[in-house]
């Protein structure tokens, strides 16, 4: 039965009109009608066993829409941020689906699957070369996770690249069966400059993800489905402190972090499929000579 269910789910990934389904889901998620938002929130919270004890709004009836509930803010004390100067922290609540070295422009997706860093970055070969020989970490956000995205390090924004694409689901099943998944899905590549060097955060869209938002530009939804690159070095700086919110997913997805060579040593307790909370240390600065 499980095999049949998985086969049907995978078949749907190739047959369904990804963007249409996701946009329709987005309309429902944005609805402020009581007859829509209340049942959606109630069913979702019950199905995924979601507690609002950590949320700033604890009464589900006080959310204006399902998306307001899904992207709910937490109480400040709910996610303490590791303040040590040399640590890098998790930008999200999620699961460590993969991590390791970036070798010859290849990044591991899942067992037997990898993808091109250049393709992930929208074909930007120069940018990909800066991170070749470095390391990466892929963090999967399940529907039950907190869905705001924060900074792993104090940094300023260098540039963003919106890359149009498909909207496959990004759960473990599709990661293990859809080749080049993350380099095929719609995504926003954000490059930052920190005191410890440049790094990127790639916000990957997925099936039923109504949209990706950033704190500096709002909803990322280019009308033209083409690669759009924005250089922030020549305009008003966009700077963040470690742990500060930089964006959010309106329904679940994935964040891929990439680091340069000899930049980060991952924490010894980091393991595949381990759960992690926003603000917890994921690594430390390398001792560069």
> Which are the catalytic amino acids?
93, 150, 253
Are the CB atoms for 157 and 190 separated by under 8 Å?
A: yes
Q: Which residues contact 77 (CB under 8 A, 6 or more apart)?
A: none
Which run of H or of E encompasses 285? strand 281-285
Element (H, E) at 20: helix 18-30
Can you list the pairs that 19-25 forms with residues at least 24 positions away whose Cβ atoms lie under 8 Å? 19/167, 21/167, 21/207, 21/208, 22/167, 22/205, 22/207, 22/208, 22/209, 22/210, 23/210, 25/208, 25/210, 25/251
CA–CA dist 243, 206 (Å, integer)? 24
Q: Phi/psi class of residue 176: alpha, beta or left (left: φ > 0; alpha: ψ in -120 to 50)?
A: alpha
Residues whose CB falls within 8 Å of the CB of residue 235, separated by 6 or more in sequence, listed in order: none
The answer to whether 95 and 140 are in contact (CB under 8 A) is yes
């Amino acid at each position: 039965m499980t095999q049949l269910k998985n086969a049907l789910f995978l078949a749907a990934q190739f047959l369904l009109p990804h963007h249409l389904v996701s946009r329709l889901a987005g309309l429902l998620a944005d609805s402020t009608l009581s007859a829509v938002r209340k049942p959606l929130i109630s069913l979702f919270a019950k199905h995924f066993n979601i507690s609002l004890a950590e949320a700033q709004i604890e009464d589900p009836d006080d959310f204006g829409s399902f998306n307001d509930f899904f992207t709910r803010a937490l109480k400040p004390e709910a996610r303490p941020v590791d303040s040590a100067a040399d640590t890098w922290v998790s930008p999200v609540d999620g699961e460590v689906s993969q991590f390791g070295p970036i070798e010859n422009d290849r990044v591991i997706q899942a067992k037997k699957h990898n993808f091109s860093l250049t393709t992930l970055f929208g074909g930007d070969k120069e940018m990909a070369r800066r991170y070749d020989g470095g390391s990466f970490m892929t963090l999967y956000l399940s529907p039950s996770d907190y869905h705001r995205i924060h900074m792993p390090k104090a940094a300023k924004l260098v540039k963003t690249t919106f890359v149009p694409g498909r909207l496959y689901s990004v759960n473990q099943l599709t990661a293990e069966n859809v080749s080049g998944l993350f380099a095929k899905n719609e995504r926003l590549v954000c490059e930052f400059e920190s005191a410890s060097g440049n790094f990127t955060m790639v916000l990957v869209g997925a099936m039923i993800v109504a949209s990706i938002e950033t704190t500096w530009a709002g909803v990322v939804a280019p009308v033209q489905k083409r690669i759009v690159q924005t250089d922030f070095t020549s305009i008003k700086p966009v700077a963040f402190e470690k742990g500060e919110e930089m964006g959010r997913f309106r329904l679940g997805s994935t964040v891929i972090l990439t680091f340069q060579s000899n930049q980060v040593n991952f924490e010894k307790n980091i393991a595949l499929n381990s759960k992690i909370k926003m603000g917890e240390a994921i690594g430390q600065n390398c001792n560069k000579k």
